[in-house]
Structure 1
Amino acid sequence: MPFLIAAVVLVGVVCALNLVLTFAVIRRLREHSAKLADQRPGGPELLAKGSRIPEIVATGLDGEDAPRRPALIGFFDTECKACPAQVPHFLRLVEDAGYDRSQVLAVVSGPYDDSYAQAMGSAATVVAEPFNGPVVTEFSVTAFPSFYLVGEDGRVRSGAVTVLGLGVPVIA
């Protein structure tokens, strides 16, 4: 009989310990879920659909009024591991949509690296700037890469952290 009592007490202690650990895991999962919700594409790091693009781009990077505004804008960082993989998709979108070089802006942030200018120079206006340069700051870019499709009215039609996430291009 004493063995039976010891076994029941042992099972009770193990069950109580299991319950405490389960509650700890559930609490940790809720914390991680809340953090991940803020990092989803289309979240707070991108301009909202329908918002106006910053004036620095709407009037042309040289400050003069531009007869056109970019229809596609891509933000890349030279230290970003995901950015080089998006370049072929970016170039394919430019080709498939039929954009000319004046309608496409590629902003490369970070330490100077001419590989982006070489890869995209024929298809886009490439702007190289230091980390947190003027264009990146105006767009409040916090995630690299980031992409925007812009309508003729200068409003964001679509924004995403991958080219494929942009959806159907706006033909300008």
Structure 2
Amino acid sequence: MLSSIVAAIALVTLLNVILTIGVVRRLRDQHTVLESLRHQQPGPTVGAVVGDFAGAATTGHSITPKSLAGRETLVAFFSNECEPCRTKLPRFVNYVIQQQLAKHDVLAVVVGQERDSSEFVSQLAPVCTVATEEFKGEIAAAFQVSSYPTTVRLRSEGGNLVVSEIDVDLDAAAAL
């Protein structure tokens, strides 16, 4: 009787060791995958040169790299289908107002179905230049935007537009 209890405990212990080794291997595999993802930064990166694009503002003015060149520009990408965008939109508008940025120094691109963009456009138009485009549009592609909302600051460098800041801290103005 005692020997069968000892054998059962030994079997349970062996099974526990085998399962623990399996769990540790799985955690190491997941850690490797997470590490590789952490080093892949989606979207624009600081120092990246913005590609060529041609778009139109809701006012009809053309938007190209040349039209943004020569000054620091704040650019934001919102999707009208994105809940975090709805949360960030008022903070963005407030930031532009508090920083007293000129309307032509701020570009907001609303991505998605144009008929669904009116709510975003109406809030953004008083404080910045606004463009709308479909998903995978020319402007978002030039900036390498892959998630929304995205905010970047640009500078001109050697005739190119270069990303100088990503994920602009929109709460910085409120802290002053």
Q: TM-score when scaled to structure 2?
A: 0.73
Distance 1:82 1:99 in 2: 23
2:124 aligned partner: 120
Retained in 2: the 8 A contact 1:68–1:102? no
1:133-171 deviation digits (Å, cap 9, x = unpaired): 2211222211111111123544322012xx427979xxx
2:90 aligned partner: 88
Shift of 1:12: 2.9
Map 1:68-107 to 2 at 5 A. 69=71, 71-107=73-109
Q: TM-score when scaled to structure 1?
A: 0.75
> Secondary structure of the equivalent of 2:169?
helix
Against the structure 1 CA distance between its residues 62 and 92, is the aligned structure 2 distance closer, same or farther, given a 3 Å change threshold? Answer: closer
Provide the aligned length of Structure 1 versus Structure 2.
160
> Secondary structure of the equivalent of 1:56?
coil
> Which residue of 20, 43, 49 maps to 1:45?
43
Against the structure 1 CA distance between its residues 64 and 53, is the aligned structure 2 distance closer, same or farther, given a 3 Å change threshold? Answer: closer
> Which residue of 45, 53, 58 maps to 1:56?
53
1:26 aligned partner: 27
Q: What is the RMSD computed on CA atoms of the aligned residues? A: 3.1
Aligned structure 1 segments of 4 or more residues deviating by more than 4 angstroms: 62-65, 67-70, 165-168
Distance 1:13 1:63 in 2: 67
Query: Structure 2: where are the runs of 5+ without partners?
Result: 55-60
Retained in 2: the 8 A contact 1:38–1:44? no
> Secondary structure of the equivalent of 1:106?
strand
2:132 maps to amino acid: A
2:143 maps to amino acid: F
Distance 2:39 2:151 in 1: 18
2:99 maps to amino acid: A
